Structure 1
Amino acid sequence: MNQAAAETPAVERRTARSAWLLFAPPFAAAGLQWWLGTLSQKDTTPLQALKAANSPGEGSVRSLMLQASEPFLWALAGVVLTVLIARWSWRRFGSAKVVRVSSCLWILLWAAAALAIVYLYLNRSGREAIPARTATVLQARPQQASERGVGGAVVLVRVPELAAPQSVLLEEADPGRMPPGTPVTLSLAKGKFSGLYVTDWRIEAPLPAPRQP
């Protein structure tokens, strides 16, 4: 048996381990998300998270668009930073050490993703209803329906007892009926660990203007 034939099983084992390391963690996280998503479908209550937004003003529409694009921007920044660190480490420490450290970080990354998925599920499923609040619309823009949601209006609102303006998707809402100053009553629920969710909403009739004496 020559040396090449003797090394073949070892190479195959390393390739198999690399494949398991590369694909098993994301598949496990995706499977967990699918399973918890299936459990969440039993709860038909619409839930939309309230998210703190920038102060409104001339750039309020831009602030809503920036907030919607934040996940992509953070992901892009993470990819660029990872590539730069990996390139520097490869030259500084060599390939073997970089591969070992990268493998550990890869597993930790998907373990953190799995924990985040579980946290979000428990936070939403363990929510507790709290008194409704009548918020004031500061800005509204349409949100098209997709496979992930029915669409509606993304609104920037001022909620009593919350310092910062809040951004939330109101399902099936018409932004044309929500000019600035429109009062909207939000039915709210508090997450098990943190955050507020909107479970229902309705537009309140504006107060009549006082009569001039």
Structure 2
Amino acid sequence: MLPLALGILALPLLAAAHHARPEPYGDRFALHARVDDAASASVRTTGRGTVEAYGTVSGRKQWTYAREGRRPLVLLSAPGHAVTLWDDGLVTDTARGGVRWHRAVPGLGTPQAHGGAGALRPLDGGARMLAVITPHRIAAYRTADGDLRWTLPAREDCAFDPARTARRGHTLLVAQPCRDRATAWTAQLVAVDDLGRVTPRRTPLGNDLPGAPEPPARPAAHAKTAP
């Protein structure tokens, strides 16, 4: 009987210890009550180190997200998504239901050194795919679940410049300046889209969720890009 009694007495202590554990990644997410226009939200960062969503019709606060001891640097807002780059190099996606996913991006290092400018770029009109651009590589994630779909390393002795990009149709052009000044300018510019680097006769794997209908075929790439 004594072991049973001790076990019963220990249950409240175990429950308290469980609730006292810090959330992974220092997450602090608060869903605010009486929100009737959740389908439409305006998301922004604040000087208090939080990401906040407000109803575009009512102006009411929908949710607040913060990470203990961390500061948001860049916010990419798209329908149903609030993708944030934090000062420790972590990327998160948040919605009204909470934090969808966290991704520690290799090579992002300390983005506060350059403010994270240009590091987050959508790869299609609906932001179904997200590019995280670092000097050493471009990594593409599916925003629905944070799945890593493809990566592209920078050319040797060259580095991507996240702040120098341009969009042309469905293609994102990213500057890749090289140390050797004799390098042709065509080698210092890379074209990517949601399926990866744009090259002739490529055979990409696609990015749809398992079980999703097969998307219509897209036109083949005709423009030849430098290696």
State the TM-score, normalizing by the size of structure 1. 0.25
Q: Report the structure number with the largest CA radius of gyration.
A: 1
Q: Which has the higher helix share?
A: 1
